[in-house]
Structure 1
Amino acid sequence: MNNIFTNPPTLSDYRIALVPMELVHAEGLFQVQSPGIWDFMTSRNETIEAMESLVHAAVQTKNEGSALPFVVTLKNSGKVIGTTRLYDFNFNNKSCEIGFTWYGADYQRTFVNTTCKLLLLEYCFETLGFNRVQFQTDERNIRSQTAIERLGASKEGILRKHKVISSGYVRNSVLYSIINDEWPKIKENLKQKLAN
């Protein structure tokens, strides 16, 4: 399994490609970010220097074998429109988490998130053979909770005083998961959403 970090996959369909993040992607991510993206994040990355630091840290997690950060690109143009990540891998228990996800404002509430999650979940359940994939979001971030629930994930509970975010606020995190038994039905539902 560890070769996924030394030779990370590109995951794609006909519209979207999730490309392994590299240092050169900082500029594209900076161009597409907007201040509202960072309201519930653990850091604010509103300068090119901050974005370069974020990308450097993300690439380092890949090099250390602890995460797979991706940039989200439009397949026809290669334009960077956001980022997402697989992390918190537990290969013994066959689980991981999807997170650190954000998209440029023009690509929010479009086909992009559904497509990205379909590609990531297919990889986790069908290629890696995982039993569980989890998600977390700020308890105040209703838009993110709605998006996760629209995927078909089950809400498991609240992690109290779980993270300190960029403003210094100590957030509660809402925990969701999808398990392998549920995946075939969820996959079909995601495909139906994209077809419509």
Structure 2
Amino acid sequence: MNDTLFENPPVLEGKRIRLVPMEFEHVKPLFKINDPSIWTYTLTEIRTEKEMEDWVAEAIRLRLEKTALPFVVIIKDTNQLAGATRLFNMNGKQRCCELGSTWYGVEYQRTFVNSEAKFLLLQFCFEELGLIRVQLKTDERNLRSQAAIERLGAVKEGILRNERILHNGYIRNAVLYSITNQEWEKVKQGLLEREKRYALSLVHGR
């Protein structure tokens, strides 16, 4: 990872979505799709536009410090902003990072958006950056998130006890998952097969 990656971060282009580097201009559209349910298991709770501005500012600060690449998720057909995600704890020497801080507006949850975003990010990590490990974490209580991560093909490594204190004071345990470079090809094929099934379901109206 060189400085150019953070100074001029890439746009990641998929079939139906585009991952665009997060900027302050995204504060208002992000806040427009904000919903209280998004923040149930998170460190932060965003209720006001000012809090969203602070959240975006923190993401950009981490990019300037060359430890994170935050993105917003754009639906290509409509140019609508659907959510946000990022790569963080990026370590070029150890060739690893974490994928997370992902959330979507309610109407985009449980759609193609998350799997396509994860595909683009993982492909970038393993095929462009040459990473050997990408990890993901989620609240032990968040069974839906765990199921989504497991559907990707990530390996569950264990529980991190008392991993962080949430905005409401709750001390959570986190479930830790990872994907390694040796596993990426299998994960990639699984995601491509899921995309084929989704395309067929549209053709057959299911």
TM-score (structure 1 length as normaliser): 0.98
Aligned residue in 2 for 1:103: 104
Aligned residue in 2 for 1:182: 183
SS in 1 for 2:10: coil
Aligned residue in 2 for 1:32: 33
Aligned residue in 2 for 1:61: 62
Unaligned runs of 5+ in 2: 198-206
Amino acid paired to 1:171: R
Aligned residue in 2 for 1:84: 85
TM-score (structure 2 length as normaliser): 0.93
Q: How does 1:77-156 map to 2 (within 5 A)?
A: 77-156=78-157
Q: Partners in 2 of 1:78 and 1:22 — Cα distance?
A: 16
Q: CA deviation at 1:76?
A: 2.2
Amino acid paired to 1:6: E
SS in 2 for 1:181: helix
Unaligned runs of 5+ in 1: none
SS in 1 for 2:182: coil
Q: CA deviation at 1:77?
A: 2.5
**Matching of residue 70 in structure 1 with residue 65 in structure 2:** no
Amino acid paired to 1:13: G
SS in 2 for 1:130: coil
Please give the root-mean-square deviation of Cα atoms over the aligned residues, in Å: 0.7
Q: Partners in 2 of 1:149 and 1:93 — Cα distance?
A: 24
Amino acid paired to 2:16: R
Q: Partners in 1 of 2:120 and 2:169 — Cα distance?
A: 34
Amino acid paired to 1:151: L
Q: CA deviation at 1:14?
A: 2.2
Q: CA deviation at 1:92?
A: 1.2
Q: CA deviation at 1:66?
A: 1.1
Q: CA deviation at 1:78?
A: 2.0
Larger Rg: 2
The percentage of aligned residue pairs carrying the same residue is 51
Amino acid paired to 2:148: A
Q: Partners in 2 of 1:184 and 1:171 — Cα distance?
A: 32
Q: Partners in 2 of 1:64 and 1:84 — Cα distance?
A: 18
Q: CA deviation at 1:91?
A: 1.0
Aligned residue in 1 for 2:24: 23
Q: Partners in 1 of 2:186 and 2:5 — Cα distance?
A: 27
**Matching of residue 160 in structure 1 with residue 157 in structure 2:** no
| Cα deviation digits, residues 154-196 of structure 1 (max 9, x gap) | 0000000010011110101100000011111110110111121
Q: Partners in 1 of 2:15 and 2:181 — Cα distance?
A: 25
Q: Partners in 2 of 1:92 and 1:104 — Cα distance?
A: 35
Whether the 8 Å CA contact 2:67–2:91 is kept in 1: the answer is no
Which runs of at least 4 in structure 1 moved beyond 3 Å after TM superposition? Answer: none
Q: CA deviation at 1:13?
A: 1.1
